[in-house]
Structure 1
Amino acid sequence: MRQYVSRGPVSLLVAVLAPLLLAVVLLPWRGHLANTNVALLLVVVVVAVAALGHRLAGALAALSAAVWFDFFFTLPYERLTISDSSDVTTAVLLLLVGLAVSQLAARARRFQVIAVTDAGYLGRIHDTAALAHSGASAHAVAEHVRAELVDLLELHGCRFEYGTLMGNPPRLEHDGSVMVGRKRWDADRLGLPDEMELRVFGSSGYVGRFMLDSTPGTMPSAQARLVAVTLAEQASSALDSAMRPVQAA
């Protein structure tokens, strides 16, 4: 079930609807259940969405929870206004706590990558992070990550492409899964597709992608795929900086 919920579009839909569904379930107890308790229950939903989805999903769930708390449980009911100052405080705290939880969940998933990898994987992550923050050129960082990906995933070849997306090749996702179109590819059983992309995002948005040419017959583990994603993320700041002048032009 998690593999469907954690996908981008589905997780965003769940993020919006899950707090609404809980609010509807709690409606018969409106007036009998303290609003602070309602807010705590909604936070539980936000935590669940953030843990299964991604950072944006958690933020949307927090916003949705705050809106439905206001709409259903604060006077006047069924209006997006609040007359009681304590309810205002509760609604604001619900939103802020939900946003904080979504950020923590995203960090927890990243730490989970480190928790399940051995010393060799940790060394790759450390070396890439050190290079990316050393002031080395974007080309040097991209070349370092390219070489690491070839070794880590036993690739036939790899290259980094700056700029806009072209085509719709299979994609290595942030959780280590592989998507072919809208369908999940069973990488643990089938290995990697012949060619796939690993996208890199920076503070300004999409930066580029590593194009991975797999070696027939090899099946990199889920841990190796997670580390590959982490290496690309470590390089994102250096690659993003190199793109800014191009984007400005």
Structure 2
Amino acid sequence: MPPGSGEAFFFTPPYERFAISKSADITTAVLLLCVGLAVSQLAARARRFQVIAIRDAGYLARIHDTAVLSRSANSALTVVDHVGDELIDLLQLRGCHFQDGSLIGHPPRLEHDGSITIGRKQWDADRLGLPDQDVELRMFGNGRYIGRYMLDPTPGAVPSRQARLVAVTLADQAGAAMDTLRRPAKSV
């Protein structure tokens, strides 16, 4: 079949067959293979970056929405409830509740760097997820302890370090809102 008529396997000679007869054909085949691999790797990397960008934009939106709510909410408790709902979704929890005031017991703790500690030992949350017991996330406002969220983890869920850091940031926003509620009003 002459070039240009009908279907051809390739658009370069040899038409309708895969034959390598010269060293130049080997060089061409290797170069085409390398270019194909490079393009597929670039496409895979671009997809990964797109997923990361979408996820990070979602994290930023959570923080932003909570900040807007904390400025406009009539009650700090509205912010605390909102953050609790965000934590459930963000960390894939079965549940979450806020405890005001004193610290009772020594449950595992989600630290401000996104790590988990049980007693004095580090828990490998990146590999194991959250422990199979309630985990505390302490809230601070203006440097003072305000209260804590008690997180009820879903077995098998492994929230990323970024998600855990966003959870800490959200808890800090709720702590700041609670701190404004507790501060005495300034007289004018």
- Do the structures match in fold with TM over 0.5? yes
Q: Given the two structures, how large is their TM-score scaled by the length of structure 2?
A: 0.66
- 1:123 corresponds to which letter in structure 2? A
Aligned partner of 1:189 in structure 2 is 127
Q: Which amino acid aligns with 1:232?
A: A
1:241 to 167, 180, 188: 180
**Equivalence for 1:151:** 89
Alpha-carbon RMSD across the aligned residues, in angstroms, is 1.8
1:34-75 Cα distance to aligned partner (Å, 9 max, x none) = xxxxxxxxxxxxxxxxxxxxxxxxxxxxxxxxxxxxxxxxxx
Q: Which residue of 1 aligns with 2:151?
A: 212
Shift of 1:244: 4.2
Give the paired residue count.
Answer: 131
CA deviation after TM superposition for structure 1 residue 129, in Å = 0.8
Could you tell me which amino acid in structure 1 is paired with residue 181 of structure 2? A
Contact 1:207–1:243, Cα closer than 8 Å, also in 2: no
**Which one has the bigger helix percentage?**
1
Q: Which residue of 2 aligns with 1:224?
A: 163
Hey, what's the Cα distance between the residues in 1 that align with 2:167 and 2:124? 17
1:126 matched to which residue of 2?
A: 64
**8 A Cα contact 1:204 1:240, kept in partner:** no
Runs of 4+ in 1 over 3 A off after TM superposition: none
Q: Which residue of 2 aligns with 1:139?
A: 77
Measured after TM superposition, the shift of residue 243 of structure 1 is 3.5
Aligned partner letter, 1:217:
G
* TM-score normalized by the length of structure 1: 0.50
**SS of match in other structure, 1:130:** helix
- Cα distance between partner residues in 2 of 1:136 and 1:125: 19
Gaps in structure 2 of 5+ consecutive residues: 1-52
Q: List per-residue Cα deviations over 1:165-185 (Å, max 9, x = no partner).
A: 111110000010001011100
Q: Does 1:170 align with 2:108?
A: yes
Paired residues of 2:113 and 2:165 also in contact (CA < 8 A)? yes
Partner Cα separation in structure 2 for residue 136 and residue 173 of structure 1: 29
Fraction of identical pairs, as percent: 65
Structure whose CA Rg is larger: 2
CA contact (8 A) 1:154 1:220 kept: yes
